[in-house]
C-alpha cells in the first residue's frame, strides 16, 4: 500500500444501524465507533444503507459517510458497484459477506460456524447459502478475522484456510454499561418491573435450539422450588420445544421469558440474580458471559466451543448435553458462598482481557501491515 498519502480504509457499516442489535450488529457498531476514535494514519469511509441519525458516530474529522440506499442485495449489487467505481485502499467487513468486487486488501470477519454443527436449526436454503458464501468469502479475503481461537480452528477445519491467513481478534463488551451495581433500589426496580422474585437465575440469549434452553428448564426443575429462571431474549426460531418443555414440567410459575429487555435494565437483572447461566451448545464468542462477569455476577457456563476461552477460569463449567451436570453446577454456586465469591473475583479480572479499543487497534495493525 502507498504510504505517501493518508490511506482510505473502507468500513461496511450497513449492519451498525438497527433498533434491536443482536451480536453481529452490536459488534459492527461498537468496533466501528472505536476505530474512528483512534488516532491513526487512515481516513475512514463508511458505507451505509441509509443516512445515520445525528450523534450516532463520534465527532471526529477522520471519516466520510457514503449513504447508498438500495432495495435488495445491497452488498452484492450496490456496495459491489461502489467498489468498482471508487474503491478504498482497504476494506473491512465486520460480517462474513464481502461484495463480489472488492479491493485486494480486504478483511472479512467470521463470527461462528454454528450451521455446520447444527444444520437442523437452519432452513435448507439458508444453510446452503451460509456454507457457500462463507467458503467463498474466507478464500476471497486477504485476511480473515475470527472472534475466537475456536472459530479460527473451525474455519481451518471446514474450509481449509491456512491458519496464517486468520487473525483472532477478541471483541470487547460495553464496559460503560455493564458494571457492578449494588444499588438495592435499582435491583428492586427491575424486579418490580418484570414481576420477579428475589431468587432467580438469569440467562441472556435469543430463543432458538442452539441456546439449549429446553435443557436449562429441565435443570432448573431439579433445584429448590423457590428458585426461578429468567430467560432474557427475543424469540428466534424453533422455540416451540422450549415452551413445550416448560408446560410438560409444570414450570410455568418458575420460568419467566423477557422478550428483549432494554439494555439499561440488564446490569440490574444480572446483579439481582443468584448467578448467570450460559447453557449454549455452540458460540463463536458469547457476549453474555462477559456481561455477567463485568456485573460481578457468578457465571455458570457450558464447556463447549469458545466459551472456556472467553470465560477463562472464572466460571463453573458443565457439559451442556448433561442436564444433571448443569443442575449440579447451578447448585454448587447456589449453595457454596465461597465458590460464588471466587467466581465473582476471577470474573472481575477476566473481563480486563477484552475491550473494543484493543480490538480496534488490532484491526488497524492488520491493515497497516498490507
Per-residue pLDDT at 4 exceeds 60: no
Give yes or no: residues 291 and 359 share one domain: no
Contact 201, 220 (CB under 8 A): yes
Give yes or no: residues 348 and 361 share one domain: no
| 3 state SS of 360 | helix
Per-residue pLDDT at 194 exceeds 70: yes
pLDDT band at residue 17 under the 50/70/90 scheme: confident
Per-residue pLDDT at 119 exceeds 70: yes
Total domains in the chain come to 2
Give yes or no: residues 336 and 192 share one domain: yes
d(CA 260, CA 297): 20
Per-residue pLDDT at 167 exceeds 80: yes
Give yes or no: residues 53 and 38 share one domain: yes
Judge residue 237's burial from the number of C-beta atoms within 10 Å of its C-beta, 0-12 exposed, 13-18 middle, 19 or more buried. Answer: middle
Q: Is residue 148 included in any domain, yes or no?
A: yes
Q: The domain spanning residue 106 has which CATH number?
A: 3.40.50.2000
Average pLDDT for 202-208: 94
pTM above 0.85, yes or no: yes
Q: Is residue 29 included in any domain, yes or no?
A: yes
Q: In 49-94, where do the E strands start and end?
A: 63-67, 90-93
Average pLDDT for 207-224: 96
pLDDT score, position 25: 87
Q: Is residue 1 included in any domain, yes or no?
A: no
pLDDT score, position 5: 66
Give yes or no: residues 23 and 158 share one domain: yes
Average pLDDT for 327-342: 97
Query: Could you say which DSSP state residue 212 is in?
Result: -
pLDDT band at residue 335 under the 50/70/90 scheme: very high
Give yes or no: residues 78 and 12 share one domain: yes
Q: Is residue 262 included in any domain, yes or no?
A: yes
Q: Is residue 334 included in any domain, yes or no?
A: yes
* Three-class SS of 278-347: ECCCCCCCCHHHHHHHHCCCCEEEECCCCHHHHHCCCCEEECCCCHHHHHHHHHHHHHCHHHHHHHHHHH
Per-residue pLDDT at 202 exceeds 90: yes
Give yes or no: residues 150 and 57 share one domain: yes
Q: Is residue 178 included in any domain, yes or no?
A: no
Average pLDDT for 152-162: 98
Give yes or no: residues 205 and 85 share one domain: no
**Which candidate, 28, 29, 63, places its Cα nearest to that of 145?**
28
> What is the residue range of 210's domain?
184-353
Task: Provide φ and ψ at 368, rounded to 5°.
Answer: -65, -25
Lowest-pLDDT range of 110-114, 150-154, 174-178, 259-263: 259-263
pLDDT score, position 20: 61
Contact 140, 106 (CB under 8 A): yes
pLDDT score, position 227: 97
pLDDT score, position 122: 80
Q: Is residue 2 included in any domain, yes or no?
A: no
As a whole-number percent, the residues of the chain with pLDDT over 90 amount to 84
Give yes or no: residues 207 and 146 share one domain: no
Give yes or no: residues 275 and 344 share one domain: yes
Q: Is residue 83 included in any domain, yes or no?
A: yes
Give yes or no: residues 211 and 141 share one domain: no
Give yes or no: residues 154 and 245 share one domain: no
pLDDT score, position 55: 83
Amino acid at each position: 500500500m502507498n504510504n505517501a498519502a493518508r490511506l482510505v480504509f473502507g468500513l461496511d457499516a450497513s449492519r451498525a444501524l438497527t433498533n434491536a442489535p443482536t451480536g453481529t450488529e452490536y459488534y459492527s457498531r461498537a468496533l466501528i465507533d472505536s476505530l474512528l476514535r483512534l488516532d491513526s494514519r487512515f481516513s475512514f469511509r463508511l458505507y451505509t444503507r441509509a443516512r445515520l441519525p445525528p450523534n450516532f458516530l463520534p465527532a471526529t474529522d477522520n471519516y466520510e459517510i457514503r449513504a447508498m440506499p438500495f432495495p435488495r442485495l445491497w452488498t452484492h449489487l450496490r456496495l459491489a458497484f461502489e467498489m468498482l467505481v471508487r474503491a478504498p485502499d482497504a476494506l473491512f467487513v465486520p460480517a462474513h459477506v464481502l461484495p463480489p468486487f472488492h479491493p485486494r486488501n480486504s478483511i472479512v470477519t467470521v463470527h461462528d460456524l454454528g450451521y455446520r454443527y447444527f444444520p437442523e436449526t437452519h432452513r435448507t436454503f439458508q444453510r446452503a447459502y451460509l456454507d457457500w458464501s462463507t467458503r467463498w468469502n474466507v478464500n476471497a479475503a486477504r485476511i480473515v478475522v475470527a472472534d475466537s481461537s475456536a472459530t479460527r480452528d473451525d474455519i481451518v477445519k471446514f474450509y481449509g484456510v491456512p491458519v496464517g491467513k486468520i487473525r483472532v481478534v477478541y471483541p470487547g463488551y460495553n464496559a460503560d454499561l455493564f458494571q457492578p451495581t449494588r444499588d438495592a433500589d435499582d435491583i428492586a426496580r427491575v424486579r418490580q418491573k418484570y414481576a420477579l422474585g428475589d431468587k432467580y437465575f438469569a440467562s441472556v440469549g435469543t430463543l432458538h435450539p442452539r441456546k439449549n434452553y429446553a435443557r436449562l428448564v429441565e435443570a432448573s426443575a431439579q433445584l429448590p422450588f423457590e428458585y426461578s429462571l429468567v430467560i432474557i431474549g427475543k424469540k428466534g426460531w424453533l422455540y416451540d420445544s422450549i415452551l413445550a418443555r416448560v408446560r410438560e414440567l409444570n414450570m410455568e410459575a418458575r420460568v419467566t421469558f423477557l422478550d428483549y429487555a432494554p439494555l439499561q435494565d440488564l446490569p440490574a437483572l444480572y446483579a439481582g440474580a443468584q448467578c448467570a447461566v450460559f447453557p449454549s451448545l455452540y458460540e463463536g464468542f458469547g457476549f453474555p458471559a462477559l456481561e455477567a462477569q463485568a456485573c460481578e455476577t457468578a457465571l455458570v457456563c457450558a464447556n463447549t466451543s469458545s466459551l472456556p476461552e472467553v470465560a477463562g477460569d472464572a466460571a463453573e463449567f458443565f457439559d451442556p448435553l448433561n442436564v444433571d451436570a448443569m443442575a449440579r453446577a447451578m447448585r454448587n454456586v447456589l449453595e457454596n458462598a465461597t465458590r460464588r465469591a471466587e467466581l465473582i473475583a476471577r470474573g472481575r479480572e477476566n473481563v480486563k482481557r477484552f475491550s473494543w479499543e484493543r480490538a480496534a487497534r488490532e484491526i488497524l495493525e492488520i491493515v497497516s501491515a498490507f
